[in-house]
Amino acid sequence: METLMRLMTRRIMRGTGRKLTSQMVVHADGSVSDPVHGRGAGNSRIVARLDLGCEELKLALQYDGSGHLHRSVRDKDSRINAELANLDWHVVRVTKGHLDDVKTLEKVLLDAVRLCERRIAQRG
């Protein structure tokens, strides 16, 4: 499902001029590394390995399949969301329902991009 999400979001993101990177790693010191594409080298504890991320926007997309319904996984996801938010990341949790409805996924993703762009503009 993560591959399907990647393909669907790639099409949606074309019009934004932004790019999402798969398997982006966010570290506790705020640094980002990309072990898949060999970019960056975070030296602190890993907060999250994002299914998709845009470092420029600090936008994270995580696919939540049925395994994320278990309490222990939900609790871990909640801790990760909080830690990413404290590092100024906006996290969008995507489910199969989003992938089944392209218009909903598109709206959620484009709204998230606009939100992140507004946050950047406010920082000046």
Residues 35 and 23: beta-carbon distance below 8 Å: yes
Residue 93, pLDDT score: 95
What ranges do the domains of the chain cover? 2-20+56-117
Residue 69, pLDDT score: 65
Residue 49, pLDDT score: 94
* Residues of the chain under the 70 pLDDT cut: 37-43, 66-70, 72-73
Q: Is 66 helix (H, G, I), strand (E, B) or coil?
A: helix
Distance CA 22, CA 16 (A): 17
Residue 35, pLDDT score: 74
Q: Quick one: CA dihedral 37, 22, 3, 12, positive or negative?
A: negative
| Chain-centroid distance, C-alpha 4 | 15
